[in-house]
Amino acid sequence: MKLTSVRIRRFRNIIDSTPISVEPHVTCLVGKNESGKTAILEALYRLKPIYPENFRDIDDYPRWLLAEHRRSGEIEKATPVEATFELDAADVEAIVAIGGKGIVREGQSLIVQKDYANKIHVSVPDINERATVTRLLDSAKLPDGLRSILGDPTTVADLSARLADIEHAVPKIDSPTQKAVGQLEDAIKNQFPEGVERAIEALVVQRMPSFLYFSEYSQLQGKVDLEHLFAEGSQLDPSQLTARSLLQLAHADNQSLLALDYEERRSELEAAANRLTNEVARYWSQSGDLRVDIDVEMAPSGGSHIAKYLQIRVEDLRNGFSNRFDQRSSGFRWFFSFLAAFHEFEKQKDRVVILLDEPALELHPRAQRDFLRFINERLAPKHQVFYTTHSPFMVEAEHLDRVRLVEDRGRGVGAVVSSDVLSAEPDSFFPLQAALGFDIAQSLFGRPDNLLVQATS
């Protein structure tokens, strides 16, 4: 299932974003600070978040409308997020398994909404319910006479009504026919207790991609309480969730990390550190010869209890110097944290839509280009990516079709999104101008087929 369009309404500074067309691989939201870019990602994340996150009208509903719309009941009707998805071959196969061949088709669109009560609403237009009726009748193996009496029902509800009419109108039907009618009625009740549409809607919610949201609050800390991290039922903040992903990236075993035996613990940690070092070396070009080191600190914590903390250090082999992870540059901490957070979902079969709020903001321009390469090579082939930026170096001049401009047009209108770059205000358009200017400066004398025009074209 692939996300094709998004619409955000009545969420923070957004009244109606207007439909946002989503690219198959990467979509880039560009706009100045406080334009509404983050609000779009946060609303979309709540549609089906990997880590629980709900809508709360007191926090999320446009504040200047909150009191009035509570009195009028408008909040109950509001759907802050609406997403349009397109069915792929695997989705069609799964739906056909319960609804019959021909019930839906590949490429068919469906709409998923979520309201402020955090209830999901699914609309699948053009369901061919006749396919379900045909499957039910074929599997029931009805006597020929009964099949002809039933006629040509087009929906399961119609079929159920005709079966009920037969039982009431013909009370003395023979046993084989009575048995066939009863079995068919039982099949309908068991397979579609709330109807065919409800069954398909439940399957759609199950199969639709989850959303992973990553922001500055998801960055790793240099020291992590392992016992709290591994405790069943622990409420973890975004930073701690990233730490858990880090250990999964390293294939670190919980019991080994908490083991008192030094050799067992150290062997697990060295394997983890080597794996992370290789990941960093592949996409971090700002400084070479870095080595990640992970250790567990045992600290007395009153009485006989010993607290265990995950310590992350980074060694600069070129200068023979190491320091704690939280003492490294903010750009490196962000990049390393994202590597850890993403890896948990990289190899799973289920699709994830990755939402990145101002990614690589504190990286050097070349490092931002490295991160774009990471998006294109590692993220986009398997998962759709949505990211926000106002950095010209995070806008690819060769992929301007990915760009959507976000503008806040004031209280009466709120934040809106457009792919028409020519209609944008200068501040919103500036990152694109800078990206194009940089690309022209880089390629004017080094690439063929350059064409100069007088104005924006």
pLDDT tens, position by position, 2-24: 999 999 999 999 999 999 999 99
Give the per-residue pLDDT at 320: 84
- Token pair belonging to 165: 């009419």
Phi-psi region of 118 (alpha: psi -120 to 50; beta: other; left: phi over 0): left
How many angstroms separate the CA atoms of 366 and 283, rounded?
11
Q: How confident is the model at residue 215 (pLDDT cuts 50, 70, 90)?
A: confident
Give the per-residue pLDDT at 456: 60
Give the per-residue pLDDT at 260: 60
φ, ψ (nearest 5 deg) of residue 224: -130, 130
| Alpha helix (H) residue ranges in 61-128 | 63-72, 74-77, 89-99
Other beta carbons within 10 Å of 344: 19
Q: How confident is the model at residue 28 (pLDDT cuts 50, 70, 90)?
A: very high
Instruction: Specify which residues 225 forms β-bridges with.
Output: 309
Q: Which amino acid is at 424?
A: A
- Percentage with pLDDT > 70 across the chain: 89
Q: How confident is the model at residue 191 (pLDDT cuts 50, 70, 90)?
A: very high
Give the per-residue pLDDT at 325: 87
More confident residue, 282 or 25: 25
- Token pair belonging to 319: 């200068």
Q: How confident is the model at residue 86 (pLDDT cuts 50, 70, 90)?
A: very high
More confident residue, 61 or 140: 61
Q: Which long-range contacts (CB under 8 A, 24 or more apart) does 409-416 make?
A: 411/64, 412/15, 413/15, 414/13, 414/14, 414/15, 414/16, 414/36, 414/62, 415/13, 415/14, 415/17, 415/35, 415/36, 415/39, 415/40, 416/16, 416/17, 416/18
Residue 457: is its pLDDT beyond 60? Answer: no
The position carrying tokens 């390293």 is 250
Residue 303: is its pLDDT beyond 90? Answer: no
- Token pair belonging to 227: 């016992």
Lowest mean pLDDT among 357-371, 396-410, 423-437: 423-437
Q: Which long-range contacts (CB under 8 A, 24 or more apart) does 327-331 make?
A: 327/222, 329/362, 330/362, 331/286, 331/360, 331/362, 331/363, 331/364, 331/367
Q: How confident is the model at residue 173 (pLDDT cuts 50, 70, 90)?
A: low
Side-chain-side CA neighbours of 301 within 13 Å: the count stands at: 10
Under 8 Å CB-to-CB from 110, ≥6 apart: which residues?
Answer: 84, 85, 87, 122, 123, 124, 125, 204
- Percentage with pLDDT > 90 across the chain: 42
More confident residue, 449 or 284: 284
Q: How confident is the model at residue 119 (pLDDT cuts 50, 70, 90)?
A: very high
Give the per-residue pLDDT at 13: 93
Of 122, 176, 118, which is closest to residue 145 (Cα–Cα)?
176
φ, ψ (nearest 5 deg) of residue 313: -125, 155
Give the per-residue pLDDT at 413: 87
Lowest mean pLDDT among 87-101, 187-201, 285-299, 422-436: 422-436
Q: Hey, which of 40-44, 366-370, 371-375 has the most confident mean pLDDT? A: 40-44
Give the per-residue pLDDT at 370: 87
Answer yes or no: pTM beyond 0.85: yes
